Amino acid sequence: MHGKKISIAIPASVVSDTPHLREKTSKIGLIGRTAAIFGVDEIIIYKDELKLDQRADMDFIATLLGYMETPQYLRKRLFKIRPELRYAGILPPLRTPHHPLGKRAVDLKVGDFREGVTIARVKEGMLVNVGVDKPALIPGKHLPLGRRVTVKIDGVNNYVMASLVNRNEIPHYWGYTVTIWEDSLGKLVQSRPFELKIATSKYGALFPEVEGKIAERWKSAKDLLIVFGAPTKGLYEIAKQEGLNLNRIVDFVVNTIPSQLTETVRTEEALIATLAVFNCAFWFKV
């Protein structure tokens, strides 16, 4: 990501227009897959119906997105059987670098990064399941069992030796994190220190008209936020609920689908369209 952190914000009601659990799961699968394709670092779920309790929807979305982001070899250890995961089998695989397919320790290389889960404490340190046929040892560490960790492979001989790392230290894309923001859109954009905040709306400026201005800001910004509206409410309406003017709380309001011929564009559709446009215009122009 060239040192940039890209966050997207989606509303808690993103699945409110979809009645069946299978279709809700499919919609969240598309959101997670799109985020991974375009290298999104954080998916934030914000409260968009201020008079309703949206916690259940937020938990549902976060659970499915978190399940998708977790490497397959860790899912059984980190996720119990839950009703909301009934159709998890239809979620598309991310196939990102932190979802490796290799299952043999001999295929590991020194310097590889892996996601793992702590499985046992031994005299020498901590044993971690990193998805191969033998556990990795983190010398001298004692951590709670069942904790997900990110490790770097330090040696592959009789034992797989590893050390703990922060995912921020990994030089390539390492999936997204999921944040439940139990507050409004206005509080999100005003309280977190994003250096560039972009909202999407069919009432926004046409993308070609503001591309140059956004490009200037994009080059220097390290922490960016792109916000998306809900199935039944656009971002202007969501901001208005708080008595806020959308144009005043973000840096740009952009229409990335200027030739929209349908009455509405679903959140997941807007996500694909917008990130594709931004990817071509800015992603590699650092």
Q: What was the pLDDT predicted at 221?
A: 94
With a CB cutoff of 8 Å and minimum separation 6, the contacts of 10 are 31, 43, 44, 45, 46, 61, 228, 267, 271
The Cα–Cα gap between 256 and 220 comes to: 22
Q: Is the dihedral of CA 132, 133, 137, 141 positive or negative?
A: positive
CATH 2.40.50.140 domain range(s) in the chain: 105-167
Q: What was the pLDDT predicted at 231?
A: 84
CATH 3.40.1280.10 domain range(s) in the chain: 5-95+176-283
| pTM across the whole model | 0.94
Q: What was the pLDDT predicted at 262?
A: 78
Q: What is the mean pLDDT of each run of 10 residues along the chain (286 residues)?
A: 83 92 96 96 96 94 98 94 94 94 89 96 94 94 93 91 93 95 95 95 95 94 96 93 96 92 84 95 65
In CATH terms, the superfamily for domain 105-167 is: Nucleic acid-binding proteins (2.40.50.140)
Report the topology of domain 5-95+176-283.
Alpha/beta knot (3.40.1280)
Angle at alpha carbon of residue 247, lines to 242 and 253, rounded to 5°: 115
Q: Which amino acid is at 106?
A: V
Q: What was the pLDDT predicted at 258?
A: 87
